[in-house]
Chain A
Amino acid sequence: MSLPSSLGQLVEEAQRLSGPLQNTIRDSIVNSIYTTAESIAAGAVTTGDPERTDWDRKIDNILTSPVWGFPIMLGLLVLVFWVTITGANIPSAMLAEGLFWIEARLTDFFMAVNAPAWLHGFLVLGVYRSLAWVVSVMLPPMAIFFPMFTLLEDSGYLPRVAFNLDRFFKKAGAHGKQALTMSMGFGCNAAGIIACRVIDSPRERLIATLTNVFVPCNGRFPTLIALAMIFVGGSVALSLAGAVATLAVAGLVVLGIAITLFVSWLLSKTLLKGTPSSFTLELPPYRRPQIAQVILRSMLDRTIFVLTRAMIIAAPAGGIIWILANTHIGDTSILAALAGWLDPFAQHMGLDGFILTAFILGLPANEIVLPILIMSYVSGGAMMELDSLAALRQLLVDQHGWTWLTALCTMIFILCHWPCGTTLFTIQKEQHRWRWTLLAVAIPTAMGIILCITVNYLAQGLGLI
């Protein structure tokens, strides 16, 4: 017997032995393992109640039924947002009131010690104020949204969503598990992009990665909610406001899903050509989530984590924005100059220069777009305490001429614009190619610009405004 001296020879030897029977050998190996497993399991498991009703089946009969499957999915989406929006309203207002009361005391203190105006401006109106905004706007919705989402995740519902929606993803040339990565994106797009690793085919993983940003993450929800409350909800009786705002946000999410499918389809027809790879999805048994644990875990793991990240970015950003808004070149501030320069283009999109500037400066984290906008609006103008949505409405509508169309275009652009810094970093880390990271910026941005311009001109052309 000649002994092999290299792996290559060993492989040759194996190929000689298995010969043309490779497939048969393979089949028989798998077969033997399964048969063994089957007989061992048969010898170890006895069932005491073979007639037991299969509750999973019964639940699935409803949750994935042709009639109820989609309405329930939509209903759950709306329910989650409705609970979040109505539930977050009051705590948000209370937090804002408290935090701005502290701001006033801080101001008193700075006055009392005769601190220079720039120091007070930088620290209190810049750093503190944007922190206060981020906390009061983000904390309550997150503290409600994340536990609810975790409950859904723990119960086993998410794979059913993927099961229901798979056909659409297949048509779009995408992987069925993209529905799962999108769900993770609701929490945080960076997490959604890491979750894309569950997709084996590189082509489909890339599609899922490039489109994840069309799912509004938690940094963007609160802003969407606030705008929806002010403009959509504000136009109807107060009792209905929450419901109408909910529908607006849910509608936007559905739009985001539609855009995801469209862009996935476009990519798989152009840049990322290919047929969908094979796909298997396990539908695990439903399990009763441990409610107390879920709440604790989602609070600690997700809420605090996301909030801390937002605050770490918001604090210096707030200070820098304050400097930009208060450093004058000639008689305009740097911020105003930037906004003025962007304004003509922004107007086409139904926005204004300040809004677009806020989006650009908000690159580090979406959470700070609204604080930046507010800061750039109020700097220069009369100081006001923004401790309620009514005050925000006054600032936007009365002082800066926002219409519902401005709000709508802003909301669309929140849904479709470049991913935040963390997400881009994650994409670069996962895909290792600059061109994909750049594409991840270009695609949603182009989508957003096109949509905003279309909506803006359509509404104006139809005389809706």
Chain B
Amino acid sequence: MGLTYQSTGKLANREAFDVPVSANEPVIALAGNPNTGKSTVFNALTGLRQHTGNWPGKTVLQTKGIFIHEGQQYTLVDLPGTYSLLANSVDEQVARDFICFAKPDATIVVVDATCLERNLNLALQVMEITEQVVLCVNLIDEARRRKLNIDTGALTRALGIPVVATAARSKEGLPQLLESTAKVVWKKIKPRPNLVQYIPEVEAAVSLLEPKVKALLGNDINPRWISLRLLDGDITLIKALEKFYGQQKVKSVREVFA
């Protein structure tokens, strides 16, 4: 039964997001809290001029651009800034759906070096969906100005993913960011994200639900993450799953929520 879902082509959903479907044309997503410099990174890499500015929420469209690195063309997508991916707002759904269903070859999470704690919250959530993550600790110049010292080595160890410090406005660190990202895309580095451990009750429920998710949906989308969202009662994700994995089972879901 569940095979109907699994048989969907791995990257087929990308079409719905209007990004290249072929495995030879990698897609990279930029996620992050609002105002952390995503659009600045995007502009610096693609040479485009996406609207930047110092107020949260100015990037309202999901914008894509291309850049070439060592002869290879990449598509870069600038997602709207969100504090989380728990889908309480349209922005959060847009960002989540892209990471979850378009399955970018790498996701760069841009975080504000001066406010790491809040920003890591989102990074940890992205890591639950995909392993292909690079952390871009941006605004490092601001952090320096405030005499904050960021130990990227410690971050790499704690998170299990590549970490690069950048100051996107002055293009500092961007070559390193590109290099790490390309390595992740081509699997030359395989990030091993250290996932958040939840309280025992939650972990127990997850371990019961996860095999069932796997049986129905396969491994295409991280089953642990889907289990968590289902336990969480995230209706928007269920709707998105219906949308991207065919309409056959819509009725039974409606019945549950009736």
Contact = CB atoms under 8 A, between A and B. Distances in A.
A and B touch in the complex (CB under 8 A): yes
Interface of A: 1, 3-15, 17-18, 21-22, 25-26, 28-30, 32-34, 36-38, 40-49, 52, 150, 153-156, 158-159, 177, 180, 194-195, 197-198, 200, 281-282, 284-287, 289-290, 297, 300-301
Given A13-B212, A195-B60, A290-B169, A21 B201 contact: yes
B209 interface: yes
A44 B233 contact: no
A367 B89 CA distance: 37
Contacts of A156: 54-55
B174 interface: no
B230 A10 contact: yes
Interface residues on B, range: 35 or more
Contacts of B35: 282, 284
Given A13-B212, A17-B205, A8 B256 contact: yes
B89 A44 contact: no
Contact of A154 (B53, B61, B155, B212): B53
Nearest to B56: A282
Given A1-B211, A37-B123, A153-B53, 15 more contacts: A7-B252, A8-B252, A8-B256, A11-B238, A11-B253, A26-B233, A28-B202, A37-B116, A45-B116, A45-B149, A45-B151, A197-B60, A200-B89, A200-B90, A284-B35
B120 interface: yes
B18 interface: no
Contacts of A3: 2, 212, 215-216
* Residue in B52, B54, B56, B123 with the greatest tally of chain A CB atoms within 10 Å: B54
B252 A48 contact: no
Given A3-B215, A12-B256, A26-B232, A285 B142 contact: yes
Interface string B95-124: 000000000000000000010111111011
B198 to A, nearest CB: 5
Q: Is the interface of B mostly helix, strand, loop or mixed?
A: helix
A284 B150 CA distance: 20
B54 A7 contact: no
A5 B216 CA distance: 7
Given A195-B60, A198-B57, A25 B155 contact: no
Nearest to A289: B54
Contact of B124 (A7, A13, A36, A159): A36
A44 B227 contact: no
Contacts of B212: 1, 3-4, 10, 13
B231 A14 contact: yes
A29 B230 CA distance: 12
A153 B197 contact: no
Contacts of B114: 285
A30 B229 CA distance: 12
27 contacts: A1-B211, A1-B212, A3-B212, A4-B215, A18-B205, A18-B231, A25-B231, A29-B228, A36-B120, A36-B124, A40-B116, A43-B158, A44-B152, A44-B158, A46-B151, A49-B146, A153-B55, A156-B55, A158-B54, A177-B57, A194-B60, A195-B60, A197-B61, A198-B60, A281-B56, A282-B34, A300-B49
B159 interface: yes
A286 B35 CA distance: 11
Nearest to B235: A11
A411 B60 CA distance: 33
Interface string B59-74: 0110000000000000
A294 B226 CA distance: 43
Interface string B120-137: 110111000000000000
B23 interface: no
B117 to A, nearest CB: 4
B255 interface: yes
Contacts of B118: 37
B127 to A, nearest CB: 10
A161 to B, nearest CB: 9
Contact of B232 (A9, A29, A45, A159): A29
Contacts of B255: 8
Contacts of A150: 53
A36 B150 CA distance: 17
A245 to B, nearest CB: 29
B142 A287 contact: yes
Contacts of A301: 49
B249 interface: yes
Given A8-B255, A297-B49, A40 B231 contact: no
B164 to A, nearest CB: 14
A427 to B, nearest CB: 15
B86 interface: yes
Nearest to A180: B55
Contact of B54 (A32, A40, A155): A155
A124 B82 CA distance: 53
Interface string B145-171: 011111110110011000000000100
A287 B35 CA distance: 11
A180 B230 contact: no
Contact of B227 (A5, A14, A289): A14
Contacts of A38: 117
B233 A33 contact: no
B198 A28 contact: yes
Given A8-B255, A40-B158, A43-B154, A32 B199 contact: yes
A156 B230 CA distance: 38
B238 to A, nearest CB: 6
Contacts of A198: 57-58, 60
A33 B57 contact: no
A462 B256 CA distance: 69
Contacts of B61: 194, 197
Contacts of B159: 40
Given A5-B1, A8-B253, A33-B196, A44 B150 contact: yes
A17 B230 CA distance: 10
B124 A17 contact: no
A300 B48 CA distance: 12
Interface string B190-202: 0000001111011
Nearest to B169: A290
